[in-house]
Amino acid sequence: MRRLLKPRHVTLSVLQARARHSAVEKHKPDGDTNEFIVLKLDEIRGAKDPTCLASNLTPENYWRIARRAEEGAEAVEAESGERADMAAAAAAPAESNVEFIRARSDKREYRRVVLPNALECLLISDSETDKAAACMEVGVGSFSDPEGLEGLAHFLEHMLFYASEKYPGEQDYTKYITEHGGSCNAYTSSETTNFYFDVNVANFEEALDRFAQFFIKPLMSQDAVLREIKAVDSGSWETLETKPKERGLDIRQELLKFYENYSTNLMHLVVYGKESLDCIQSFVERLFSDIKNTDQGSFKCPSQPLSEEHMQLVIKAIPISEGDYLKISWPVTPNIHFYKEEHMEDIIGLVFKYILLLKENGIHEWIFDELVAINETEFHYQDKVHPISYVTDIVTTMRSFPQEEWLVGASLPSKYSPNRINMILDELSAERVRILWESKEFEGTTDSVEPWYCTAYSVENVTPSMIQQWIQKAPTEKLCIPKPNIFIPKDLSLKEAHEKVKFPAILRKTPLSRLWYKPDMLFSTPKVHIVIDFHCPLTSHSPEAVISTSLFVDLLADYLNAYAYDAQIAGLFYSIYRTSAGFQVSVGGYNDKMRILLDAIMKHISNFEVKPNRFCALKETAVKDYQNFKFSQPYSQASYYISLILKDQKWPLAEKLEALSKLEPDSLAKFMPHLLSKTFLECYIHGNIEPNEATSIVQEIEDTIFNTPKSVFKSMSPSQYLIRRVITLENELKCYYQIEGLNQKNENSSVVQYIQVHLDDALSNIKLQLFALIARQPAANQLRTIEQLGYIADLYVRSDRGVRALEVVIQSTVKDPSYLDARVDEFFKMFENKIHELSDKDFKRYVKSLIDSKLEKSKNLWEESDFYWAEIEAGTLQFDRGRSEVSLLRELKKEEFIEFFDQYIRIGAPQRKTLSVQVFGGKHLAEFKKAIAEADAPKTYRITDIFGFKRSRPLYRSLKGGPGRITMD
C-alpha cells in the first residue's frame, strides 16, 4: 500500500497539488540569519491554465504570513531580554522545574537539565515506549566551513561515526546500534549538525555511551580520513584532498582544528527513554559531562545578508532532467522574531496580483481564527511518533524558544497582529524578489557554470517595470480571498467500542464489495483511515491499459486539487494512485468531516470525464516522468530490471512511453468504460467509527459507483479476479542480466544481487530476517568501508507479492558491475565462517534483538492501519504475525538457523536461486563489451531476452484470494 499520511506529512495527491499547482512554502533556515517566503512551482509547462494556481495559493500564503505576525513588535523588543534569561538559565542549577506547554493527550514526563559543562538537555520518560532515542544538535554547520575547505562540516559529521578512543573498533557504534534493533543517522545544515539514533530500550545506556564519545574523544585516524573522502567522492577528493594539499594543508589536522568548534555552549541534547527521569538524568550526567565547553561563538549574520545587488534577479539554470521548475523568493524579517504571531511570466504576474489582492482586500481576522483552531486541534490530537523522530523534532526548538515552549515551537499561534501581517506583505515586493527558473530552453544561452555539479546558469536583472507588465497580462478571474473552510472538525468526541476487537474482520460482503473493519482500541484519537481498493483486472493487461489507468488517476487527483486543498489544511488527507491490479483511494484524518471528502472523491470517479486541456498538461508531465527515468541512479535502474524480470504482467518503460505518446483525449474517453467494466471494491475502515457507520459508508460508495444511470462500473465474477505472481528461479543456477546504463554521462555502475528464498512462511521468514540482521552491517563495512567499492553498499530482505529474498546492492565509480558481483560472492564465502562459528551467546543476542523489534508496538493509528491493510492487500492475513513469529524465534535453535543458511544462502547451496542485474555506467563501457563477449561460466545463465526468460519459468502460487473467497492458510 502507498502510505497514507498522518497529518504531519503530505499525501501523494496533495503533494502533486502543491508541486504542480503552486504552493507557498516557508523555507526556514536555522537561527535568525535570514528568512524567505518561497513560492515553488514544478512542471510549470503543465500548467496550461495558470489561473488555477491562485486557488491553492490563498490559504496557506495567508497563514504563513499570519504566523509571522502573532507576537507583533513586542517580540522584537523582548528578544534581548529572552536571550538574557536563556543565558542565565545556562548557569542555573543542574535541574530546573519547567512547566512545559504540552498536548492534552501527551502522557510522557519531561525534565530540563543543564550539566556543569553548560550542556542543555531535555529528558523524556515514556513508560510505554519500545525504543529509546537521543539527538544532539551542534550549532556548527556548513556556514562555518573554512574558506577553501567547503564541505568540512559535513565531512566531520561522517568521521565521528568511525571510532572513538573508548570504542576504537571501526564502525563499533553503527554495529552496536544495528545489532540491537536500532538505526542511526546525521545531517549537516547551514547552521547546525544533528546526530541521532534509536535502539531497543534494553540497550539504551550502552548505546548512549557510544554516542556520547562522538563529542568527547573521536579518533579520526589518517587512514580513516582518506578512506572516507574516497567513499563519498562526488567532488570530495578534489575539495578535501587535492586542493588542500596544493595549499600545504593536512586535511586531518584541519578536521581536528574544526572539531574544536564542537563546544557544549553550542549544543542541545534530547534523550528519550523508558526509565524514570531520575534514571535517565543519571545516564546523561555520567556520560555527557566530559564534553568540553570552550565557549565558542555561534554563526551570526548581524544584518540582512542580501543587499540590493542580490535582488531583482532571475537566475536561469539548465537542469539535468526534463521539466521546468520555478521558484520565486523574497527575503523577509526572520520568522523567529515573531514566532507567535511557461507561462513563467503569467505565473509571476499572478503571484504579484494575488499579493496586491491581499493588500487591497485587507487583513481578515476570521481567517486567522480559523487557522488557529486548525493548529490547536492538530497540536492537541497529534499522533505519537517514533522516539527518533520526536527527539530530532524537539531538539531544533531548543535553540530558539523559551523552555516552556520546547514541545510546542511555533505550533500554537496566539496573537492576531494585522500590522505585522501588513509589514510582511509589504516586504513581498517586486523590488525584493529573487527568481530561479530551471529549463532545458536555456541550453546555449547561459554564461556561467557552478564548480561542484557543473550546472550551467546565468543571472539577469528583472526590473519592477517588467514585473508590472507581467501583472497586467496575468489572468484574474479565479483570484479571490478564501471562503470559510467546511472541513474544520467540530465533533472530536470518541466513539465507544462495544466489544474489544483485536484484529480486522469482514463486516460486510456483497458481489460488488467486501468491507474489513476495525475500531480504534489503542490510540483514543478522533481519526479514521479508509481504503477503497478498486480491483479492475483490465487495467494491467497491456501497456496501453496501464498508462490509460495512470492518466485517469492523475486527472482525478488534478480535478480534486482545488476542492481538497481546504481538507488538507483542516487535517484530512487523501491519495489516489494506480496499483498493479487497478487503483486505490485512501483517506485519513479527523472522522467528523471525512464523509464529505470521501463523497466528493467518489462522485468525481463516478462522473469522470476527460478534460482535453488538463489531459494535455498531465500527459506532458507523464512523458517527462518516463523520460527522466534515464537520469535515475544506476542502482534504481538495476532494481527496475529486477522487477521487470520477476513479475508477471510487468511492462517495460519504453513500451509504456510509446503507448503514452499515442494516447489522445478521445481515445482515453473511449477506453475508460471498457477499462472499468469489471470492478470489485476491497474496503478497509479503521479508527474512531462505529460498525453501522462503516457499513453505511460502503453502501453509499456502492450506490455512487455502481448504481447511477451513467455508471461505467460493472461487477465481475470471481473467475475474473486478477492474480499477481512472481517467477521461480532455478536452484543452483545464477542468472544474470547485463546492460548499459541509460545515462552514459553518469560514471556510476551498479550491481543488485537478488537471492530468492521462499514464499511467505513464518519459520522461514524469521530465519531470513535473522540472517539479514547479522549480515547487514558487516556487508556494508566490508564492501563500502574496507574494500572502498562505493558509497552505496547495502544488504536487506526484499518481498515481492509474498516471495521473500535477500538483496545486496552496490553502486560504484571504482569498479565495473562484474567485479562488484564477484566481490558480493566473496563476501558470502567469507561470511560463511562467521555463521558457522557463531557463539551461542551471540546467537541469543541477535535473536533477542529481532524479538524486541517484532514486539515493538505501533505508535499511532496510521502505523497499525498500514500493517493490517498490507496483510489484506497481500492476501496473507497474518494479523498476529509479530507475536506468532516471536514464538517461533524463542524456540529457534542455532543449528536450525545454520542449516537454513547452508540450504538457501551460502555460495553453492543446493537451493540457492540467484539473479544478478548489472548496470554499466559511462566509465565502464569497455568492461561491458568484454563482459557480454565472455562465455557463460558453469551453473550460470545469461538473460538476453527478458520476456522469453519469464515465459520459460514457472510461477510461485498466489497468496491472495479473490472477491468470492478468503484464504486463511
- As a whole number of angstroms, the distance between CA 821 and CA 808 comes to 9
Which uninterrupted H or E stretch holds 414? none
- 75 grid coordinates: 517580540
- 98 grid coordinates: 519547567
Cβ partners under 8 Å of residue 855, min gap 6: 130, 882, 883, 886
Cβ partners under 8 Å of residue 269, min gap 6: 119, 120, 121, 122, 134, 135, 136, 137, 284, 288, 395
- 727 grid coordinates: 517467477
- As a whole number of angstroms, the distance between CA 922 and CA 680 comes to 47
- 523 grid coordinates: 490510540
Strand positions, DSSP E, 230-304:
267-273
DSSP 216-237: T-B---HHHHHHHHHHT-SSHH
CB burial of residue 62 (10 Å; 0-12, 13-18, 19+)? buried
Q: Which residues share a beta bridge with 528?
A: 589, 687
- As a whole number of angstroms, the distance between CA 701 and CA 685 comes to 13
3-state secondary structure of 285: helix
SS3 track for 676-733: CCCCEEEEEEEECCCHHHHHHHHHHHHHHHHCCCCCCCCCCCHHHCCCCCEECCCCCE
**Rounded to the nearest 5°, which phi and psi values hold at 435?**
-125, 130
DSSP 540-597: SSSHHHHHHHHHHHHHHHHHHHHHHHHHHHTTEEEEEEEETTEEEEEEEEESTTHHHH
Cβ partners under 8 Å of residue 692, min gap 6: none
Catalytic residue among 71, 120, 157, 405: 157
- As a whole number of angstroms, the distance between CA 922 and CA 817 comes to 12
In the residue annotation, 873 being an active-site residue is answered as no
3-state secondary structure of 802: coil
The radius of gyration of the chain from alpha carbons, rounded to an integer in Å, stands at 29
In the residue annotation, 832 being an active-site residue is answered as no
Q: How is the chain split among helix, strand and coil, in percent rounded to 5?
A: 45, 20, 35
- 432 grid coordinates: 525584493
**Pairing of the two strands 434-438 and 513-519:** unpaired
Spatial contact of 852 and 202, defined as CB atoms under 8 Å apart: yes
* Edge-to-edge order in the sheet of strand 792-800: 792-800, 803-812, 749-759, 913-920, 733-740, 940-942
Orientation of helix 653-662 relative to helix 612-627, angle to 10° = 160
- As a whole number of angstroms, the distance between CA 415 and CA 465 comes to 37
Cβ partners under 8 Å of residue 555, min gap 6: 608, 610, 611, 614, 615, 618
Orientation of helix 172-179 relative to helix 840-854, angle to 10° = 60
Q: Catalytic positions, please?
A: 157, 228
